[in-house]
Structure formats: structure tokens, C-alpha cells
Amino acid sequence: MRLTLTTLCTLAFAGHSFAAPATVDFWHAMGGNLGELTDKFAADFNAQNENCQVNTVYKGNYTETMTSAISAFRAKEQPHIVQVFEVGTATMMAANDKGAVYPVYQLMEDTGLEFNQDAYLPAVVSYYTDTDNKLLSLPFNSSTPVLWYNKTKLDELGIEVPTTWDELRAAAKKAKQGGVDAPFSFGWQSWTQIENFSAWHDIEMGTEENGFGGINTQFTFNNDKVVGHIQSIADMGKDGDFKYGGRRGDSRAQFVNGETILWINSSAYYGGFQKDIKDFEFGQTMLPLENSAADRPQNSIIGGATLWVLQGHEEAEYKCVGEFFNYISNAEQQASWHQNTGYVPITTAAYDLSKQQGFYETNPGTDVAIKQLSLNTPTANSKGVRFGNFVQVRDVINEELEAVWTGQKSAKDAMDDAVARGNELLRKFEAANK
């Protein structure tokens, strides 16, 4: 108690004697170890900058953080920086048009800080740029789906790591015969099996450049290629080569306990796998190619979150925001973030630095994500997706895919229904954001 009082007095005293540093509130959704690393970013930055004080506040998971920031904005109590997951992008974009958001490129221009958008990885920033290719929010934690495999088991069964879906199907069949319970599975199915499958094979998921061109977009993922892909997975399920393990990342348990040996999900599972998987060797490789859908892979798209700046604060505070953004984008900070978390580095310099440090040699496979993302220059179909009400659309996709996995619907019917229901949600978003 005495200590607290002393601290308070000191703070009060300090406040009177010196010019108070500009305070910046930063609301984030990083719990546990990630939260500690995020707080450390701010603490280190504050130690170097006496004019700025960045206060980090953990606001719960992604949806909770976004909802709190929106309610705070409506009550005019908004933070300066809020971390928003990629599916919230369309909502934030619409808010940008109405003046709730301070676009990052604009902020950097207004505060006169050094900012070079080309230093950032194109596949990462392209998800968050406007139609003029200007950066609206700063990528913070980004990952992409990869194919995880149980190396020990594959070697034991004499199966090569698959690079195409044909090989994957054959491998799963062989593994099943070899006694593996549920050879193939995946998590976050809309993201991995529809959004990324489409980008990887350069297939349009929705009109208007996947929604980048305007909120009058319509879904088109009920095309033959996606339908064929979903049907082929359903067929694997009938033979027991594929076992569905839930929405989100629930099926992780299947991979960790060896029940599943080929698993498609985020590259950011790396850190956790290193800690949890003791009794077999695991690896990650690029997503398989469906030969009937494309001749070569395009590039995969990211998931994760970015930092959005909200309007309504003082200029001096925004300057601190800009300096903080530059601080977390510098190569050393990024390389350390990347190596500790499994998220991709957001700048080319951080990638190069990690290479120089020999990180990829000592940790093979950790560069798969970044190689996938930068495989080709992103096209209109592979820049990312930007659809309104996308959180609910993903729920619709989850429901419809589950109807396929449980044999209630054919892939064609399910995708047609998902598109129809999704379009209804898009129209509602369009009407609300005119």
C-alpha cells in the first residue's frame, strides 16, 4: 500500500515537473506468451522514447477486442490503436470511408515520418491496401496455412511428403491401410479449404476482385473447381481417409496425438508444436496443388491481424503511433517476433535478417509460410478476400461444409446454398454501409 502511494505521488510529481509524454492506448487480443511479447514491444519502445507512452491493454480474443473498440468508438472513448483480425477488414474499411479510421499511409504522411510501403512483403500488405494500393492498417501478426506432416509415421510407412492433392489422396489411402486412424484433416475450413484453395489455384472467390473493388460483391465459390475439391474431400471421408475434427483449430489434438498425419492449418502452430509434440518428428511443407484446377500454384493468403488507427485524438499522439509503427516494423524487432511466434515477418528486411542469422537452417520448414506468400505477385484472386459480414459468412460456410462431411448434402448443393446465404449477408452489409 505504501509502495502504491509512493508511486502515485512520484507519478503526480513527475506529471507536474516535466512535459507529460503523449499517451497512446493500444488494445490488443494477444493472450499468454504472445501478450507478453506484445507488451515488451511497448515497454522497449517507451524506454527509448521519452515523449511517448504506449499503453497496451489486453481486451480478450479477436472478436471481443474488435467489439470493445467499436463500442468505445460509439461512446467516443476509442483507443488510438486496435488490433483487428483479417475478417474484420471489410467492417474497418467501411468505417474508413466514413472517417472513423486514420489510414496508416495518411498518418505517416501527415506526421512526416519515414515510411516506405515497398519494404513490406507484398502478399502481407496487399490484404490491407485500398484500391490505389495504399496501406490502411499495419500488419502485425500474419500467418498462412501450410501442410503439416508427421515425418516419423510417413517414413515408417514409406510415404513421400505429398505435393499435389492426387499424391495426398494416395498417401492418405496408404496410411489408412497401414493402420493410421484418420490420416488427413484440417482446421479453420473456410480459410484453408475455400479461401486459400481458391487463391492457391488463382480462382475467384467473389466478384469485384474478391470484394476489394466494392461492397457490391457477389460470391462465386460454388464454381466447379471448388465444388470438385470439396467433393473429393467428402469422398475421402467416406473411406475414413479423412476425419473432420471441428471448426477453428479443434482438430489440432488429432495431429498431436498421431491419429492424423497430414494436417492443413496455420503456420503459426509451430511454436506450440515444438512444445507439445515429443514422440514424433513433424514438418511443414507447401500446400498441395490440385492438378485439375491449375498448372502451378499462385500464392497463399494470410490470416491473422493488423493494427488499425482510430480517429479522434491529438496530433502529438498520432506522431507517437507512427513512431511506434516504425519501431515494430524494424528488422530486428520483426525478426525476433517472427522467430519466437511462427508468424511471418512483415518486411523483407526482417526475412533477410532471419536468413543471415541462420534461423531457417536450424529450424527447417519455418520459411515455408513466407515462401508460399511470396511465390508469385498476387493477382486479383490471390490478394486476399474482403467481404462484409464475413464472420457470419464463415459460419454459413462451416455449416454447409459440415452438411457435406456428415453426408447430408452433396458438395454442389452445399456450395450453392452457402453462396446464396452468403450473398444475402453481403447485401445486408451493403445496405447498412451505403
Partner 1 sequence: MSQSRVVFRGMFLPYLLLLPQISVTIIFFLWPSYQALEQSFFLEDAFGFSREFVAFDNYAALFRDEGYLRSFGTTIWFGFSVTFLSMSMALLLAVCANRTVRMATGYRTLVIWPYAVAPAIAGVIWFFLMNPSLGIVAYWLKAMGVDWNHYMSGDQAFAMVVVAASWKQISYNFLFFFAGLQSIPKSLLEAAALDGAGPIRRFWTISFPLLSPTTFFLLVVNLVYAFFDTFSIIHATTSGGPVDATSILVYRVYNTGFIGQDYGGSAAQSVILMVLVIVMTAIQFRYVEKKVVYS
* Choice from 167, 208, 317, 424 touching partner 1 (CB under 8 A): 424
Any contact of residue 416 with partner 1 (CB under 8 A)?
A: no
Q: Quick one: cell of 21?
A: 509524454
Tell me how long the chain is. Answer: 434
Residues 333, 260: Cα–Cα separation, whole Å: 35
Q: Find all residues with CB under 8 Å of 5, minimum gap 6, and list them.
A: none
The edge-to-edge listing of strands for the beta sheet with 282-285 is 184-186, 262-266, 145-150, 282-285
Closer by beta carbon to partner 1, 245 or else 345: 245
Any contact of residue 402 with partner 1 (CB under 8 A)?
A: yes
Any contact of residue 238 with partner 1 (CB under 8 A)?
A: no
* Choice from 22, 29, 42, 94 touching partner 1 (CB under 8 A): 94
- For residue 238, the tally of other CB atoms under 10 A from its CB is 9
| 347, 55 contact by CB (below 8 A) | no
Q: Are strands 138-143 and 184-186 parallel, antiparallel or unpaired?
A: unpaired
58 phi-psi bin (left φ>0, alpha ψ -120 to 50, beta other)? beta
DSSP 8-state symbol, 212: T
Closer by beta carbon to partner 1, 335 or else 414: 414
**What is the helix (H) or strand (E) element at residue 213, kind and residue range?**
none
User: What part of residues 240-279 is at the interface with partner 1 (CB under 8 A)?
Assistant: 243-248, 250-251, 253-254, 257, 259
Q: Which runs of consecutive H residues, i.e. helices, occur in 277-389?
A: 315-329, 331-341, 348-356, 359-362, 368-373
* Choice from 70, 124, 305, 385 touching partner 1 (CB under 8 A): 70
Any contact of residue 399 with partner 1 (CB under 8 A)?
A: yes
* Choice from 53, 391, 413, 423 touching partner 1 (CB under 8 A): 391
Q: Closest distance between partner 1 and the C-beta of residue 248, in Å?
A: 7
Any contact of residue 98 with partner 1 (CB under 8 A)?
A: yes
Q: Closest distance between partner 1 and the C-beta of residue 420, in Å?
A: 11
Closer by beta carbon to partner 1, 68 or else 339: 68
* Choice from 100, 203, 277, 418 touching partner 1 (CB under 8 A): 100
Burial class of residue 251 (count of CB atoms within 10 Å of its CB; 0-12, 13-18, 19+)? buried
Total number of residues binding partner 1 (CB under 8 A)? Answer: 41
Any contact of residue 403 with partner 1 (CB under 8 A)?
A: yes
* Choice from 27, 45, 73, 127 touching partner 1 (CB under 8 A): 73
| 225, 402 contact by CB (below 8 A) | no
Binding footprint of partner 1 on the chain (CB under 8 A): 63, 66-67, 70, 73-74, 91, 94-95, 98, 100, 243-248, 250-251, 253-254, 257, 259, 389, 391-392, 395, 398-399, 402-403, 405-406, 408, 421, 424, 428, 431-434
